[in-house]
Amino acid sequence: MSPPSSTLAPDADPRRWRALVLLAMAELLGMSLWFSASAVSPRLQALWQLSDSQAGWLTGAVQLGFVAGTAIAALLNLADLIPSRVYFAVSALLAAAANAALTLADGYGQAVALRFATGMLLAGVYPPAMKMVSTWFRSARGLAIGTVVGALTVGKATPYLLRAFPSLDWRQVVLAASAGAVVSALLVAATYRDGPYPFARRRFSWGLLRDVARNRPARLAIAGYLGHMWELYAMWTFISLFFVDVFAAHGHGGAEARAGLMGFAVIAAGGMGSVLAGAWADRLGRARVTIWAMAASGACALAIGWMMRAPVWLVVAVALLWGFAVVADSAQFSAIVTEVAPEHAVGTALTLQTALGFLLTSVSIAAVPHLRAAGGWPLAFGLLAAGPALGIIAMRMLPSAAPR
């Protein structure tokens, strides 16, 4: 398992906390675009007569767009050619525009295309922020990246909170997310500067894939990440819909608004999970924390689908635990890859990890509606637990002092 990072000299620049707060706020506002359409999918389903599977692709298209954007950015070396704050700000502004254009779409086809474009542009908002915050932190990098991931997790949950207000029309929810991304772009453009630990510039090369593939610790870390991603975005996409069914089964009125609040609460719980897991990983070891998180989230995935008729407070408690654990390990997988991959191929390893992970999420998101139709929520959510199970196996095989 990966060792704790306590052997590094403590970070000392006092400006690092200001940079962390800035980037956390920017990610919270910018990443609210990710689920803006998913949060209002019940209204779009009614408007455009969509099936559950089609509604799921309002998120699946974002995943595929993000993969495409990440690959393009890596091949063109955009993160090195363009200053970080400019790259982030321009990407956030363009993503906000693509998201806002959803309010003008006249049907499903245009909506999916715009969601793909939004995901592609968010590739200039999400990964660069991880690199940007890492230029300010080394010994506490797990905490720093965990904080940024926690903030973007809350940001992704925000559209569900807005959906809970019946007075807001679906277009207002979408436009509010775009407004947040615009503010995010302005914050970074006006105030961000790189820290004292810059990264060496290395171009992406397909030839480096061979070096990553031959490195067993890197393969295991990527495999663990894939298990985590199989579960994560499918859970985030459908947890609100699950609560619509829960509240309806208990005869509660206003099921959609209540489900929106629960969608926000469950996803946002991951914000605290990411911060705490980052702090624990710096002290106890990253791989150990990922195993604990996947064990907890996998258990919740197996259990919650059977709890439709259980007391609502109990369902809520399990869902909040699931939300806390399901993303707690996310940042640590990337940190592990930076520690175990061949030093000259770290960028390629991270690009490969991200691309494979988000490609896999599009499969699990597409599968859940069909599994739900075939066997209900026990089958749909239960199969998601296969990801954490396989991820745990991979991380337990990771050497404790993996050489580069």
Residue 370 burial (10 A CB sphere; 0-12, 13-18, 19+): middle
CA distance 323 to 271: 9
Q: What is the pTM of this model?
A: 0.83
pLDDT at 25: 95
Give the pLDDT confidence of 301-344 residue by residue, as tens digits.
999 999 998 999 999 999 999 999 999 998 889 888 877 888 77
Whether 363 contacts 252, CB under 8 Å? no
* pLDDT of res. 137: 82
Residue 131 to residues 25, 99, 120, 135, 249: CA-CA distances in angstroms? 16, 25, 18, 7, 45
pLDDT score, position 8: 62
Centre a 10 Å sphere on the Cβ of residue 253 and count the other Cβ atoms it contains.
8
Between 134 and 109, where is the model more confident? 109
Q: What share of the chain is helix, strand, coil (3-state, %, to 5)?
A: 80, 0, 20
Structure-model confidence comparison of residues 145 and 32, the more confident one: 32
Stretch 39-55: mean pLDDT = 89
Residue 379 zone, left/alpha/beta (φ > 0; ψ -120 to 50; rest): alpha
What's the CA gap between 153 and 398, in Å, rounded?
27
- 204 in Cβ contact with 77 (< 8 Å): yes
H helices of 285-345, in order, are 286-304, 312-326, 330-340
Which residues have a Cβ under 8 Å from the Cβ of 330 and sit 6 or more positions away?
149, 228, 232, 274
**Which domains are delineated in the chain?**
15-195 (1.20.1250.20), 208-404 (1.20.1250.20)
- The string of DSSP codes covering 72-85 is HHHHHTHHHHS-HH
- Nearest-angstrom CA–CA distance, 306 and 378: 5
Asked whether 136 and 16 are in contact (CB, 8 A), the reply is yes
pLDDT at residue 94 tops 80: yes
Residue with tokens 């990264």: 199
Tokens of 308: 């439709």
Please state, rounded to an integer, the average pLDDT across all residues of the chain.
Answer: 88
Judge contact between 189 and 86, C-beta under 8 A. Answer: yes
For 399, list phi and psi in degrees, rounded to 5: -60, 150
- How does pLDDT run across 261-287, given as a tens digit for each residue? 999 999 999 988 888 888 888 788 888
Residues 6+ apart with CB under 8 A from 39: 159, 160, 162, 163, 173, 240, 260, 263
pLDDT value at residue 347: 67
Q: What is the rounded average pLDDT of the residues 116-126?
A: 94
Provide the pLDDT confidence category of residue 3 given band limits of 50, 70 and 90: very low
Instruction: Provide the token pair at 198.
Output: 């810059």
Burial 223-234 (b: 16+ CB within 10 A, else e): bbbbbbbbbbbb
User: Quick count: other Cβ atoms within 10 Å of Cβ 11?
Assistant: 19
pLDDT tens by residue, 211-231: 888 889 989 999 999 999 999
Q: Is it the case that residue 1 has pLDDT exceeding 60?
A: no
**pLDDT(199) > 80:** no
